[in-house]
Chain A
Amino acid sequence: MDAIQVEYEVLPFASTLKDAMATDAPDLRGGKGNLLRHANSPQNFPNATWAEQQGDLEQGFAEADVIREFTYRFVGGVSVPMQPSGSVAKWNGDQLTFWGMGQGIYPVRAALAAALGIDASKIRFINKWNGSTFGAARLAAERFYPLIAHLAKVTGRPVKVMLPKDQELAQLQIKPETITKFKVGARKDGRITAIEHEVFVSVGDLDSGGHASTPGNAQNQLELYTSLVPHWRSLWCAYRTNAPRPGPSRSYYQQETKWSWESMMDEMAEAVGLDPVAFRLMHITKPKPGDARYPYDSFPSVEVLEEGAKAFGWNRRNPTPGGAPGRFKRGFGVGMSQHHGGLMGYHEGEEAFQKLAAAPGAAVFGTELELGADGYVTMKVALPDSGSNAATALAHLVSEMLGFTNRNRIRLIWGDTDMAPSSDEWFGGRTITLQGAAICSAADKLRKDLLRRAAASLQVDVAKLQIRDGVISSTEDPKKTTTLYALAKANGGTIRQTGRGVSGGERTGSNKGVGACFVEVEVDTWTGDWRFLRAVYPHDTGLVINPLVAEADMVGSLVESTQVATDAIPWDREFPGTRHYSVGYLSYRLPTIMDVPKQTQLYIDSLEPRWFYGVKSFSETSIGAVPGAIANAIYNACGVRIREHPITREKIMAGLRAQGRRA
Chain B
Amino acid sequence: MKNISIYRPSTVEEAIQLLSRHGTEAGVYAGGTDLLIRLKNRLKQAPTYLVDVKKIDNLRYIKEDAKGGVAIGTATKLSEMADSELLQKKYPMLVQAINMISSPELRNASTLGGDLLQEVWCQYLRGGYSCWRNGGYLCYGAIGDNSYYHSAMGGRLCYAVYPGDAATALIAFDARVKLATPGGVKELSMEQLVPGDMMVDGRIQSHVVRFNEILTEVVIPPPKPGVRASFEKLRPRGVWDFAMASLAMSLQVRDKTIEDARVVFGGISGKPLRETHVETFLKGKTLAADLSDQAVSIALANAAPLKYNSTKIDMAKGLLASGLAKMSAVA
How far is B143's CA from A201's CA once the two chains are assembled, in angstroms? 28
* Contact A528:B123 (CB < 8 A) given known A650-B147, A663-B293, A663-B321: no
User: Interface size of B by Cβ–Cβ distance < 8 Å?
Assistant: 35
Pick from A342-350, A449-457, A572-580 the stretch touching chain B: A572-580
Is A662 in contact with B314, judged by CB distance below 8 angstroms?
A: yes
Task: Determine whether B239 belongs to the interface, using a CB cutoff of 8 Å to chain A.
Answer: yes
Q: A657 — which chain B residues lie within 8 A by C-beta?
A: 314
How far is B312's CA from A653's CA once the two chains are assembled, in angstroms? 10
Is B318 in contact with A584, judged by CB distance below 8 angstroms?
A: no
Is B318 in contact with A663, judged by CB distance below 8 angstroms?
A: yes
Pick from B3-11, B69-77, B209-217, B230-238 the stretch touching chain A: B230-238
Q: A327 — which chain B residues lie within 8 A by C-beta?
A: 322, 325
Is B144 in contact with A654, judged by CB distance below 8 angstroms?
A: no
Is A663 in contact with B296, judged by CB distance below 8 angstroms?
A: yes
* Contact A662:B318 (CB < 8 A) given known A527-B234, A576-B144: yes
User: Interface size of A by Cβ–Cβ distance < 8 Å?
Assistant: 31
B213-247 at interface with A (beta carbon < 8 Å): 234, 236-241, 244-245
Pick from A75-83, A464-472, A586-594, A601-609 the stretch touching chain B: A586-594
Task: Determine whether A649 belongs to the interface, using a CB cutoff of 8 Å to chain B.
Answer: yes
Chain A positions 642 through 663: 1 when the CB is less than 8 Å from some CB of chain B, otherwise 0: 0000000110011001000011
Return A107 CB to nearest CB of chain B, in Å: 35
Is A166 in contact with B127, judged by CB distance below 8 angstroms?
A: yes
Task: Determine whether A113 belongs to the interface, using a CB cutoff of 8 Å to chain B.
Answer: no
Return A449 CB to nearest CB of chain B, in Å: 51
Is A649 in contact with B236, judged by CB distance below 8 angstroms?
A: yes
Return A275 CB to nearest CB of chain B, in Å: 31
Q: B122 — which chain A residues lie within 8 A by C-beta?
A: 586
Task: Determine whether B121 belongs to the interface, using a CB cutoff of 8 Å to chain A.
Answer: yes
* Contact A575:B296 (CB < 8 A) given known A528-B311, A586-B149: no
Is A594 in contact with B239, judged by CB distance below 8 angstroms?
A: yes
Task: Determine whether B110 belongs to the interface, using a CB cutoff of 8 Å to chain A.
Answer: no
A-B contact count (CB 8 A): 92
Q: B236 — which chain A residues lie within 8 A by C-beta?
A: 567, 589, 649
Is B322 in contact with A527, judged by CB distance below 8 angstroms?
A: yes
Cβ-defined partner of A527 (8 Å) among B147, B149, B315: B315
How far is B245's CA from A587's CA once the two chains are assembled, in angstroms? 17
Is B311 in contact with A526, judged by CB distance below 8 angstroms?
A: no
Q: A589 — which chain B residues lie within 8 A by C-beta?
A: 236-237, 241
Task: Determine whether B292 belongs to the interface, using a CB cutoff of 8 Å to chain A.
Answer: yes
Return A585 CB to nearest CB of chain B, in Å: 9
> From A562, which residue of chain B is reached at the shortest CB distance?
B237
Q: B314 — which chain A residues lie within 8 A by C-beta?
A: 527-528, 653, 657, 662
* Contact A526:B318 (CB < 8 A) given known A584-B123, A649-B234, A650-B311: yes
Q: A527 — which chain B residues lie within 8 A by C-beta?
A: 234, 245, 314-315, 318-319, 322
How far is B296's CA from A650's CA once the two chains are assembled, in angstroms? 18
Is A583 in contact with B238, judged by CB distance below 8 angstroms?
A: no
Most buried by A among B144, B146, B241: B144
Is B237 in contact with A592, judged by CB distance below 8 angstroms?
A: yes
Chain B positions 283 through 324: 1 when the CB is less than 8 Å from some CB of chain A, otherwise 0: 000000000110010000000000010010011011101100
Task: Determine whether A524 belongs to the interface, using a CB cutoff of 8 Å to chain B.
Answer: yes
**What are 29 A-B contacts with C-beta separation under 8 Å?**
A327-B322, A526-B318, A527-B314, A527-B318, A527-B319, A527-B322, A528-B318, A567-B236, A570-B147, A574-B124, A574-B144, A574-B145, A576-B144, A583-B145, A584-B123, A584-B127, A586-B122, A591-B237, A592-B240, A594-B239, A595-B237, A595-B238, A649-B244, A649-B311, A650-B308, A653-B314, A653-B315, A663-B293, A663-B317
Interface residues of B (CB under 8 A from A): 121-124, 126-127, 129, 143-147, 149, 234, 236-241, 244-245, 292-293, 296, 308, 311, 314-315, 317-319, 321-322, 325
